């Protein structure tokens, strides 16, 4: 989080002013850097060597950041967030495909319906659960998400396609698929899918960042830090929590609608409680107290998933070890890393350690220079 | 104690009414000034029970505008529970709370600061991981924007920063505003708590042991601060305090609570000479020994 | 962990709406029984079996939650581990089912002890969210081990021939195994209840949670007792896993499904009430199995085929939402626990 650094008082030096501006807007700058660097970095032959997942990773970052608005900032751990991703995904897929007699809708309209459904469910569920205590909240969201998954699995009115999901005729009119690559067509203009997703990513993340730095967002932080005190100081904690839940649900559904196009349809797997659990893991792994925590967490997770599944032989120069058998079970090691992280410092995550490490390095370098 | 009879019949009708009546008769008339319609803060027959235990027993208080009232009593007398019940942190089992003549008993806890009633906590309740400035600023923001506000498009630093710095100055907190609240000294944390309570722009301020754990020097400074709050800001102050020097030197009147009941109210010199008060304190001492 | 009993007062607070709902339920059940008596009894017993498994799983979860303040997400993984271990005992080692019924829960208990000593011990007294997250990580590890060792395909074991026969109940024949399961579950529940409420062991664990220093001061070795408590909770989950999977087989999704259901049972029964968990487990099990039967009978009687919804999986969650709306503290819950 930015925020606390710029309180020290102004300076007249131009350099200082530039630095303070950079300090104030380092989140937008960082987000642009993520967009620009992500694709070249992962398509480096030493890393993944292919770039198709770059857009998927950006979408996941939006989703986990939306989740973290609720957990990291408002202090509410939702263990069923996949359902909101699913509302966006299924609404977009059903609307665009017009399956089973549903009216065929343009993608933005279908996505908007998904977002509205998610926000409504978030609001109502929030009214029912936010004041029940954090463990209650975690399990209640989990249970409701499970119920939503079962419902989709039952294929009501033939809309959700049961365990097959919705995969036919799901590409919106403005998206074309050529040789497995998605291209967005606006009039005569062709734009790479990655840049379209980047635009959605930047707009959503900036909106989330603005929420976090707004007076509204600071009220959420106060509630997270000490709900009793917040109430005694005149903050309507219940309403803030319910609205945070609603906003988080809406952004999750937005991510879901874009993910639908990216994945060529809505899959029941994405709606499952396993996805909800992965969301929690990614956020905590990255560091829930930081705006860039979810971004780091998603990157590490998705990268590990792709990279370690591909990884086969470790070349150590003098010998080679075949690790493919062990590394297909990367979830075991990630789980172990997660447990250690939670026991040692549950709120710091990778981003927290990275920050401390960079700060130490900076201090040490400064010491050497002087 | 105007509605003792009502409450007795409503909630404890299995208990013999004579019992309640007897207690009411033998109880000293604790706070002669009670008139809920004119007092800045008044309680009428306020009662709070936890299961079988009665922590606050039919307390009727009346604090006048601009008064500095101290509430004293042995440990476990129910002083903090009384504050919690007045603030709405705990719903009362019985009785009413009046603020400026208005019945606020049914108002939610978070509404009361907006009606002019604020408190500081006995334990240092703070937003610990936030800066000193942010602790106060978020309260200033709440006081200006209301209990809930969709204030999404501004930078939080543009709301209430100056006022927050001003309040930190008022309470004499010298630590840099960017210090994290959890890193403050105990005394500074207590001052921060008072600054936050003041940030709600209250008319009536409840302070729960503002000097506890402070050095003698800091205690005097805090006592001066409390007098200043009353004199210069014109607030009504209700104070729970153990340091009798502070109580005797700054309060206009003192109310004594024992086993949940109000046993006396009066000016300091009168309370010092009161037999019931001495019994309560000495009795408490005896039990502790 | 009180066994709250329905008192006169509780009954007096039950509103007319509840009575009306109960009446409607009784009428519906009667109609269903009249239309399809065989299926009705069949499903009622199926529901009872399912409910008993739920109660057994919930028992361990709420013991550890109520006595030690740890929210053990890995409880479902223990359940699943018990099931898969019983497969190894029966198929790989070639031992009889009865051996699996003893050995698998013991092994799961040992796993629980190892996790308690290496991880959970450091979490006593911390924010329950932290223990939830940590045990969630442990769940991931255990599930990955299961996938790696036993594979992802569904597995099955054969039960001893004594239990595979049927027992004639007049209108229908019920597999003997189901009756066996219900009997064993009831015995287990009673035994655990007696252990917790009537023995020195349960008392000291409870005292230890309330005031650890004082309890140790009077000479109780708390770490050992907490570990033993965790052994008991894990073994109970493993035991339930063996019982359940012997009938339905082993699947890699059973862990997550059952840990969520166990929490649903706790919410419906009321957190902090052992008795509530038992009642709500059976209630949820039976209603999950009977609701589709009732709906199909209703569809037949009213000639509205769309009514015959197959919503068995959904019923527990619907019950939970109803309870949250109309009785937030659960059927027998104390107010304010964990809030």
Of A8, A215, A233, the CB nearest to B178: A8
Tokens for A56, please give them.
């998927």
Which residues share a beta bridge with A190?
A: A185
What pLDDT does residue B17 have? 38
Give the integer Cα–Cα distance in Å for C241 and C80.
6
Ranges of chain A whose pLDDT falls below 70:
1-13, 45-49, 309-327, 370
State mean pLDDT over B254-270.
88
What pLDDT does residue C139 have? 92
Position B109 confidence tier, pLDDT thresholds 50, 70, 90: very high
Give the 3-state secondary structure of residue B109.
helix
pLDDT in tens, B10-45: 333 333 333 443 344 334 445 655 677 778 998 988
Minimal Cα–Cα distance from A220 to chain B, Å?
10
Mean pLDDT score of chain C: 83
Minimal Cα–Cα distance from C201 to chain A, Å?
27
Give the integer Cα–Cα distance in Å for C257 and B87.
44
Residues B92 and B150 in one domain: no
Give the 3-state secondary structure of residue A162.
helix
In chain A, what residues touch C320 (CB-CB under 8 Å)? 140, 143
In chain C, what residues touch A121 (CB-CB under 8 Å)? none
Q: Residue C216: how many CB atoms within 10 A of its CB?
A: 13
| Closest C-alpha among C105, C119, C287 to residue C188 | C105
In chain A, what residues touch C140 (CB-CB under 8 Å)? 277, 281, 331-332, 334-335, 338
Torsion of CA B141, B143, B146, B149, to 10 degrees: 10
Q: How many interchain CB pairs under 8 A, A with C? A: 108
- To 5 degrees, how large is the angle CA A167–CA A172–CA A175? 110
Output DSSP code: residue B242.
Answer: -
Q: Within an 8 Å CB–CB cutoff, is residue A231 touching chain B?
A: yes
- To 5 degrees, how large is the angle CA C310–CA C61–CA C225? 165
Minimal Cα–Cα distance from A343 to chain B, Å?
20
Of A211, A221, A235, the CB nearest to B130: A221
What pLDDT does residue C212 have? 63
- What percentage of residues in chain C have a pLDDT greater than 90? 27
Measured in whole angstroms, the distance separating CA A89 from the mean position of its chain's CA atoms is 14
Residues B213 and B196 in one domain: no
The mean-pLDDT minimum among A197-206, C135-144, C191-200, C238-247 falls in C191-200
Give the 3-state secondary structure of residue B63.
strand
Residues B58 and B137 in one domain: no
Give the integer Cα–Cα distance in Å for B37 and B102.
7
Minimal Cα–Cα distance from A245 to chain C, Å?
18
What is the number of structural domains in chain B?
2
State mean pLDDT over C30-56.
86
Strand intervals (E) in chain C: 166-168, 173-175
- Asked if B204 contacts B236 with a C-beta cutoff of 8 angstroms, the reply is yes
Residues on chain A bordering chain C, Cβ-to-Cβ distance under 8 angstroms? 77, 128-129, 131-136, 138-140, 142-144, 146-147, 150-151, 153-154, 273-274, 277, 280-281, 284, 329, 331-332, 334-336, 338-339, 342-343, 346
Give the integer Cα–Cα distance in Å for A64 and A294.
6
Domain that holds residue B195: 125-201
Residues B130 and B179 in one domain: yes
What is the number of structural domains in chain A?
1
Query: For residue C47, is pLDDT > 70?
Result: yes
Yes or no, beta carbons of C338 and A342 under 8 Å apart:
no
State mean pLDDT over B194-202.
94
pLDDT in tens, B212-233: 888 888 899 999 999 988 888 8
Minimal Cα–Cα distance from C266 to chain A, Å?
10
- Asked if B169 contacts B200 with a C-beta cutoff of 8 angstroms, the reply is no
Q: How many interchain CB pairs under 8 A, A with B? A: 112
What pLDDT does residue C208 have? 67
Place of tokens 């700054």: B250
Sequence spans of domains, chain C: 40-252
Which tops the pLDDT comparison, C107 or A324? Answer: C107
Query: For residue B1, is pLDDT > 70?
Result: no
Minimal Cα–Cα distance from A207 to chain B, Å?
9
Residues B112 and B15 in one domain: yes
Q: Do chains A and C touch (3 or more CB pairs under 8 A)?
A: yes
| Closest C-alpha among B125, B142, B127 to residue A225 | B127
Query: For residue B282, is pLDDT > 90?
Result: no
In chain A, what residues touch C116 (CB-CB under 8 Å)? none
Give the integer Cα–Cα distance in Å for A161 and B196.
55
Give the integer Cα–Cα distance in Å for A68 and A64.
6
Yes or no, beta carbons of A235 and B147 under 8 Å apart:
yes
Yes or no, beta carbons of A236 and B110 under 8 Å apart:
yes
Residues B103 and B151 in one domain: no
List of residues 6+ apart from C108 with CB closer than 8 A: C78, C81, C82, C85, C234, C235, C237, C238, C239, C241
Q: What's the complex ipTM?
A: 0.84
In chain A, what residues touch C271 (CB-CB under 8 Å)? 136
Which residues share a beta bridge with B261?
A: B258
- To 5 degrees, how large is the angle CA B258–CA B259–CA B264? 25
Q: Do chains C and B touch (3 or more CB pairs under 8 A)?
A: no
From B136, B167, B201, give the residue that closes a domain. Answer: B201
Measured on CA atoms in the order A334, A336, A338, A344, is the torsion positive or negative? negative
Domain that holds residue A286: 5-369
Minimal Cα–Cα distance from B183 to chain A, Å?
15
- Asked if C316 contacts C263 with a C-beta cutoff of 8 angstroms, the reply is no
Yes or no, beta carbons of B87 and A222 under 8 Å apart:
no
Minimal Cα–Cα distance from B92 to chain A, Å?
16
**H-assigned helices in A74-133:** 82-97, 107-129
In chain A, what residues touch B200 (CB-CB under 8 Å)? 233-234
Yes or no, beta carbons of A7 and B154 under 8 Å apart:
no
> What are the CA-CA distances from residue B9 to residues A208, B26, B44, C13 (Å)?
55, 19, 16, 20
Give the integer Cα–Cα distance in Å for C135 and B88.
37
Q: Within an 8 Å CB–CB cutoff, is residue A210 touching chain B?
A: yes
What pLDDT does residue B4 have? 38
Minimal Cα–Cα distance from B244 to chain A, Å?
27
From B152, B179, B201, give the residue that closes a domain. Answer: B201
Yes or no, beta carbons of A150 and C313 under 8 Å apart:
yes
Tokens for A250, please give them.
């809406």
Position C325 confidence tier, pLDDT thresholds 50, 70, 90: confident
DSSP-assigned letters across all residues of A141-162:
HHHHHHHHHHHHHT-GGG-S-G
Which residue in chain B has the smallest CA separation from A234?
A: B110
Give the integer Cα–Cα distance in Å for C171 and C169.
6
Residues B47 and B112 in one domain: yes
Q: Residue B186: how many CB atoms within 10 A of its CB?
A: 12
Give the 3-state secondary structure of residue A208.
helix
Residues B197 and B209 in one domain: no
Position C294 confidence tier, pLDDT thresholds 50, 70, 90: confident
Which tops the pLDDT comparison, B13 or C85? Answer: C85
> What are the CA-CA distances from residue C187 to residues A249, C107, C108, C190, C291 (Å)?
45, 21, 20, 5, 28
Yes or no, beta carbons of C338 and A135 under 8 Å apart:
yes
Give the integer Cα–Cα distance in Å for B128 and B183.
8
In chain A, what residues touch B199 (CB-CB under 8 Å)? 233
| Closest C-alpha among C252, C262, C227 to residue C81 | C252
Of A143, A277, A342, the CB nearest to C264: A143
Mutate to test the interface with C, among A83, A134, A135 (most CBs of C within 10 A): A135
Yes or no, beta carbons of B127 and A6 under 8 Å apart:
no
Place of tokens 């409450």: B7
Chains with ≥3 Cβ pairs under 8 A against A? B, C
Give the 3-state secondary structure of residue A265.
coil
In chain C, what residues touch A136 (CB-CB under 8 Å)? 267, 271, 338-339
Burial annotation A11-36 (CB, 10 A radius, 16+ → b, else e): eeeeeeeeebeeebeebeebbeebbe
Give the integer Cα–Cα distance in Å for C100 and C90.
6
Give the integer Cα–Cα distance in Å for A107 and A92.
6
Q: Within an 8 Å CB–CB cutoff, is residue A248 touching chain B?
A: no
The mean-pLDDT minimum among A60-74, C175-189, C299-313 falls in C299-313
Give the integer Cα–Cα distance in Å for C134 and A280.
11
Yes or no, beta carbons of B157 and A228 under 8 Å apart:
no
Measured in whole angstroms, the distance separating CA A258 from the mean position of its chain's CA atoms is 12
Mutate to test the interface with A, among C116, C141, C292 (most CBs of A within 10 A): C141
Minimal Cα–Cα distance from A205 to chain B, Å?
14
Give the integer Cα–Cα distance in Å for C267 and A102.
37
State mean pLDDT over B269-288.
70
Torsion angles phi and psi, residue A114, rounded to 5: -60, -45
Burial annotation B31-52 (CB, 10 A radius, 16+ → b, else e): beebebeebbbbbbbbbbeeee
Q: What is the CA radius of gyration of chain A?
A: 22
Mean pLDDT score of chain B: 83
Yes or no, beta carbons of A235 and B110 under 8 Å apart:
yes
- To 5 degrees, how large is the angle CA A155–CA A160–CA A163? 70
Tokens for B243, please give them.
């340091």
What pLDDT does residue A268 have? 86
Mutate to test the interface with A, among B80, B104, B109, B192 (most CBs of A within 10 A): B109
């Amino acid at each position: 989080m930015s925020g606390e650094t710029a309180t020290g008082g102004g300076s007249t030096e131009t350099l200082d002013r530039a630095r303070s501006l950079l300090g104030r807007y380092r989140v937008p700058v960082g987000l642009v850097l993520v967009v620009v660097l992500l694709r070249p970095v992962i398509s480096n032959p030493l890393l993944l060597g292919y770039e198709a997942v770059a857009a998927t990773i950006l979408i996941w970052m939006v989703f986990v950041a939306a989740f973290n608005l609720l957990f990291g900032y408002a202090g509410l751990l939702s263990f069923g967030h996949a359902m909101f991703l699913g509302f966006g995904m299924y609404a977009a897929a059903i609307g665009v495909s017009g399956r089973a007699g549903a009216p065929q809708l343009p993608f933005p309209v279908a996505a908007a319906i998904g977002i509205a459904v998610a926000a409504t469910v978030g609001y109502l569920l929030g009214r029912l659960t936010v004041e029940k205590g954090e463990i209650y909240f975690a399990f209640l969201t989990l249970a409701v998400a499970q119920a939503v998954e079962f419902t989709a699995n039952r294929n009501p009115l033939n809309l959700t396609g049961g365990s097959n999901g919705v995969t036919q005729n799901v590409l919106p009119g403005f998206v074309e698929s050529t040789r497995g690559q998605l291209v967005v067509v606006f009039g005569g203009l062709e734009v790479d899918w990655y840049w379209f997703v980047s635009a959605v990513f930047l707009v959503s993340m900036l909106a989330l960042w603005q929420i976090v730095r707004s007076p509204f967002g600071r009220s959420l932080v106060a509630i997270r830090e000490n709900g009793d005190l917040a109430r005694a100081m005149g903050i309507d904690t219940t309403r803030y929590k319910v609205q945070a839940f609603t906003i988080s649900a809406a952004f999750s559904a937005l991510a879901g609608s874009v993910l639908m196009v990216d994945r060529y349809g809505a899959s029941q797997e994405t709606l499952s409680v396993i996805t909800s659990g992965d969301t929690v893991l990614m956020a905590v792994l990255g560091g829930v107290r930081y705006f860039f925590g979810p971004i780091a967490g998603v990157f590490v997770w998705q990268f590990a998933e792709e990279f370690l599944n591909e990884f086969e032989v470790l070349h150590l120069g003098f010998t080679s070890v075949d690790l493919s058998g062990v590394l297909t079970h990367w979830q075991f090691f990630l789980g172990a890393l997660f447990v250690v992280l939670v026991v040692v410092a549950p709120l710091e995550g990778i981003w927290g350690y990275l920050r401390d490490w960079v700060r130490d390095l900076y201090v040490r370098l400064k010491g050497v220079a002087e | 104690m105007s509605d003792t009879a009502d409450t007795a019949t409503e909630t404890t009708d299995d208990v013999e009414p004579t019992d309640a009546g007897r207690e009411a008769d033998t109880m000293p008339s604790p706070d002669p000034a009670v008139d809920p319609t004119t007092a800045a803060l008044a309680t009428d027959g306020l009662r709070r029970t936890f299961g079988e235990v009665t922590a606050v027993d039919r307390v009727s208080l009346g604090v006048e505008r601009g008064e500095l009232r101290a509430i004293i009593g042995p440990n476990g007398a129910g002083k903090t529970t009384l504050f919690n019940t007045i603030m709405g942190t705990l719903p009362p089992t019985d009785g009413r709370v009046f603020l400026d003549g208005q019945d606020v008993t049914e108002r939610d806890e978070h509404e009361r600061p907006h009606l002019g009633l604020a408190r500081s906590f006995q334990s240092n309740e703070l937003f610990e991981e936030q800066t000193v400035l942010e602790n106060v600023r978020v309260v200033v923001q709440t006081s200006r924007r209301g209990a809930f506000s969709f204030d999404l498009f501004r930078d939080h630093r543009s709301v209430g920063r100056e006022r927050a710095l001003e309040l930190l100055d008022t309470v004499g907190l010298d630590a840099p505003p960017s210090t994290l609240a959890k890193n403050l000294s105990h005394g500074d944390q207590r001052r921060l708590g008072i600054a936050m309570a003041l940030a709600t722009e209250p008319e009536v301020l409840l302070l729960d042991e503002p000097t506890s754990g402070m050095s003698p020097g800091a205690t005097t400074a805090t006592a001066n601060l409390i007098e200043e709050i009353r004199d210069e800001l014109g607030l009504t102050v209700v104070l729970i305090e153990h340091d009798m020097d502070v109580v005797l030197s700054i309060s206009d009147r003192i109310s004594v609570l024992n086993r949940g009941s109000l046993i006396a109210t009066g000016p300091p010199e009168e309370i010092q000479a009161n037999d019931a008060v001495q019994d309560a304190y000495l009795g408490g001492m005896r039990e502790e020994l | 962990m009180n066994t709250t009993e329905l008192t006169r007062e509780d009954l007096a607070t039950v509103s007319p709406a509840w009575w009306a709902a109960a009446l409607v339920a009784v009428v519906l059940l009667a109609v269903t029984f009249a239309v399809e008596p065989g299926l009705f009894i069949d499903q009622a017993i199926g529901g009872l079996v399912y409910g008993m498994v739920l109660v057994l799983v919930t028992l361990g979860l709420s013991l550890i939650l109520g006595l030690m303040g740890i929210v053990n997400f890995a409880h479902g993984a223990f359940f699943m581990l018990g099931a898969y271990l019983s497969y190894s005992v029966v198929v790989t080692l070639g031992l009889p089912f009865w051996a699996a019924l003893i050995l698998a829960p013991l092994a799961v208990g040992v796993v629980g002890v190892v996790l308690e000593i290496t991880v959970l011990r450091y979490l006593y007294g911390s924010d329950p969210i932290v223990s939830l997250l940590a045990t969630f990580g442990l769940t991931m590890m255990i599930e990955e081990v299961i996938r790696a060792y036993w594979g992802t395909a569904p597995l099955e074991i054969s039960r001893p021939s004594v239990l595979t026969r049927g027992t004639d109940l007049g209108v229908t024949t019920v597999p003997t195994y189901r009756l066996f399961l219900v009997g064993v579950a009831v015995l287990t529940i009673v035994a655990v209840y007696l252990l917790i409420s009537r023995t020195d062991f349960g008392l000291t664990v409870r005292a230890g949670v309330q005031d650890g220093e004082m309890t140790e001061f009077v000479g109780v070795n708390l770490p050992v007792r907490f570990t033993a408590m965790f052994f008991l909770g894990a073994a109970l989950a493993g035991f339930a896993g063996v019982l359940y999977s012997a009938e339905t087989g082993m699947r890699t999704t059973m862990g997550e499904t059952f840990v969520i259901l166990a929490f649903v049972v706790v919410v419906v029964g009321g957190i902090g009430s052992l008795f509530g968990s038992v009642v709500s487990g059976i209630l949820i099990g039976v209603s999950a199995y009977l609701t589709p039967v009732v709906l199909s009978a209703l569809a037949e009687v009213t000639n509205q085929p769309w009514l015959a919804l197959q919503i068995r999986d959904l019923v527990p969650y619907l019950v939970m939402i109803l309870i949250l709306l109309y009785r937030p503290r659960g059927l027998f819950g104390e107010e304010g626990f964990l809030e």
